[in-house]
Amino acid sequence: MKDMLWELMNPLVMGILLGGLYATIALGLSLTFGVAREINLAHGDLVVLGSYFVFWMTSRFGWDPLLCLSFGVPLAFFLGYALQRYLLNYSMRLSEDTVLVVTFGIAVILQNLMQIKWGPLSRNLTQDYLLRTLDLGALYIPLNYLLDFVAAVLVMVALHAFLKKTFTGKAIRASAQDVTAARLMGIDVQGMYSITFGISCALCMIAGTFLGMTFPFTPFTGPTLLIIAFGIVVLGGMGSIAGTLIGGMAFGVVQTLSGYFLGLTAQMLVAFAMVLVVLSLMPRGLFGR
């Protein structure tokens, strides 16, 4: 019995660490939905675009993936900002459905552009040092999983501080709570949406980097990531940062544990079944308001 518990520790810890990566992937989706009620169907593909961007930079300049982020994050922010400002804000004014159609179109375009540029084969951002494992007696922790989790926590703390402490962050939260009142406070709500989408894309860049450091990716990994992110956001409640982290960890743990007990083929099935069960029992998610 004791041995069995020890043996469970490994998938459990791996699931929690993996949950950090999932939460980073889901964070941007949760943010845009929480602030603008905007569902971005290209979210997963933007994450993969981040992976490919870093792949391109590492293979061209021989840089470490983490170093590429210093260019990638501002670039992704401006791309996202422009996308919202010059395209999605207009779509939102037409209807919610328009946003779905437009972002779906962006998803298809991105997938095909990535396939043209980088081909259909799977790539990864693995570095030698990432393959090391921390040996803690009964526990083996791969370094890349640990980095995923640390990055997730850092990103979330930073986002939380931005939303709480800065004038812009407060204005974004105000826009999320009451659009009309926010406008009356002198806040350019559409401008806030643009900044929010920029942040979401910057988060995609970060998520894409850590994804590539952990798993291989292809131009068509995006939709799978989108579905995982939706599951997590539903679990954690839209727009809640802590909820997203816990939702990600719940998803990761259920996945690794069911993989341990039922085999790898069943792990995603069980994780999504959990999302369905939670959603039917608590329609607002575990932490939704």
Which spans of this chain sit near another protein (rule: CB under 8 A)?
167, 170-171, 173-174, 177-178, 180-189, 289
Report the residue number, 177 or 280, with the smaller CB distance to another protein.
177
Report the residue number, 175 or 209, with the smaller CB distance to another protein.
175
Structure tokens at 213: 């450091």
| Minimum CB distance to another protein, residue 191 (Å) | 8
At a CB cut-off of 8 Å and minimum separation 6, what does 240 contact? 30, 34, 285, 287, 288, 289
Parallel/antiparallel/unpaired status of strands 133-136 and 139-142: antiparallel
Answer left, alpha or beta for residue 218, where phi above 0 means left and psi between -120 and 50 means alpha: beta
Beta carbons within 10 angstroms of residue 242's beta carbon: 13
Report the residue number, 171 or 257, with the smaller CB distance to another protein.
171
Report the residue number, 180 or 280, with the smaller CB distance to another protein.
180
Q: Please give the Cα distance from 267 to 256 (Å, whole number).
A: 7
| Minimum CB distance to another protein, residue 14 (Å) | 35
Report the residue number, 7 or 188, with the smaller CB distance to another protein.
188
| Minimum CB distance to another protein, residue 33 (Å) | 16
Closest CA to 252 of 62, 11, 7: 11
Q: Please give the Cα distance from 208 to 55 (Å, whole number).
A: 10
| Minimum CB distance to another protein, residue 139 (Å) | 39
| Minimum CB distance to another protein, residue 184 (Å) | 5
Report the residue number, 132 or 160, with the smaller CB distance to another protein.
160
At a CB cut-off of 8 Å and minimum separation 6, what does 272 contact? 227, 231
Q: Is 216 exposed, middle or buried (0-12, 13-18, 19+ CB in 10 A)?
A: middle
| Minimum CB distance to another protein, residue 165 (Å) | 10
